[in-house]
């Protein structure tokens, strides 16, 4: 089921990227392109996400993202370095008539994201990120947490994603990777 869900998530992300690129092209033809990227020095945003392709029996998670741009990188393709904090919440129950348990899973991660500067595409903000996180896991069942198979601990985060700015202070968001859900989609709101 996970590979089917991952395949579906990959197809959904590809469709979202195609729609965003097509929409950007149509908007670019309608009016002159801005030259300053929407994700620039000092930029800060926050927003809710929904994750697909999660852990165990969870088919979706709910969470959020917060990111702040901290450094321009003129020697690295004129990109931007951002620090992102992500938190998600999964919950599921499984078992049979003899043994059952319920799992609550909260991954909290921090990543350093490199934001690419795409010439002529100031509304499109692709990025890649690496970081670490900590899973907070609680498991309870009719025999305590015996046989649960999940535990709290540190994990690696690797992701690639993008924002598409619909307005100066609002962007669609998507990321794929390891360290939480396979695909996260959301809406980000600029704070600064």
For residue 102, the model assigns a pLDDT of 84
CA pseudo-torsion sign 187, 89, 108, 53 = negative
For residue 58, the model assigns a pLDDT of 63
Q: What is the mean pLDDT of residues 5-12?
A: 45
The yes-or-no verdict on residue 126 having pLDDT over 90 is: yes
* More confident site: 142 or 49: 49
The yes-or-no verdict on residue 79 having pLDDT over 60 is: yes
Domain interval for residue 71: 2-190
**Per-residue confidence band for 90, with pLDDT thresholds at 50, 70 and 90:** confident
Structure tokens at 161: 């994603």
The yes-or-no verdict on residue 88 having pLDDT over 60 is: yes
Segment 102-117, tens digit of pLDDT: 888 899 999 999 999 9
Residues 67 and 84: their CA atoms lie apart, in Å, by 4
pTM equals 0.75
Q: State how far Cα 42 lies from the chain centre.
A: 20
The yes-or-no verdict on residue 165 having pLDDT over 80 is: yes
For residue 147, the model assigns a pLDDT of 61
CA-wise closest residue to 137 among 150, 126, 147, 125: 150
CATH number of the structural domain spanning residue 10: 2.40.160.20
* C-alpha separations of 34 from 24, 70, 105, 126, 151 in Å: 12, 22, 42, 17, 48
Phi and psi at residue 42, to the nearest 5° = 85, -5
38 with 123: CB under 8 angstroms? Answer: yes
* Average pLDDT along the chain: 80
Residues 46 and 64: their CA atoms lie apart, in Å, by 7
Q: What total of structural domains would you count in the chain? A: 1
Segment 13-61, tens digit of pLDDT: 444 444 444 444 444 444 444 567 788 898 999 999 998 876 666 678 8
The yes-or-no verdict on residue 3 having pLDDT over 60 is: no
Q: Give the H/E segment covering residue 147.
A: none
For residue 145, the model assigns a pLDDT of 58
Percentages helix, strand, coil for the chain (3-state, rounded to 5) are: 15, 55, 30
189 with 38: CB under 8 angstroms? Answer: no
């Amino acid at each position: 089921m996970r590979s089917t869900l991952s395949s579906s998530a990959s197809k959904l992300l590809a469709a979202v990227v195609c729609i965003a690129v097509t929409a950007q092209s149509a908007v670019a033809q309608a009016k002159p392109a801005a030259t300053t990227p929407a994700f620039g020095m000092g930029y800060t945003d926050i927003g809710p996400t929904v994750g697909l392709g999660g852990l165990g029996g969870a088919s979706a998670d709910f969470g959020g993202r917060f990111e702040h741009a901290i450094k321009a990188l003129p020697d690295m393709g004129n990109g931007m370095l951002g620090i992102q904090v992500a938190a998600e919440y999964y919950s599921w129950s499984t078992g049979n008539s003899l043994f059952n348990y319920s799992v609550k899973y909260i991954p909290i991660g921090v990543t350093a994201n490199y934001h690419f500067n795409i010439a002529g595409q100031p509304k499109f903000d692709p990025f890649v990120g690496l970081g670490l996180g900590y899973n907070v896991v609680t498991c309870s069942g009719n025999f305590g947490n015996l046989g649960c198979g999940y535990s709290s601990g540190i994990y690696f985060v690797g992701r690639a994603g993008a924002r598409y700015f619909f307005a100066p202070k609002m962007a669609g968001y998507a990321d794929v990777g390891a360290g939480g859900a396979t695909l996260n989609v959301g809406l980000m709101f600029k704070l600064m």
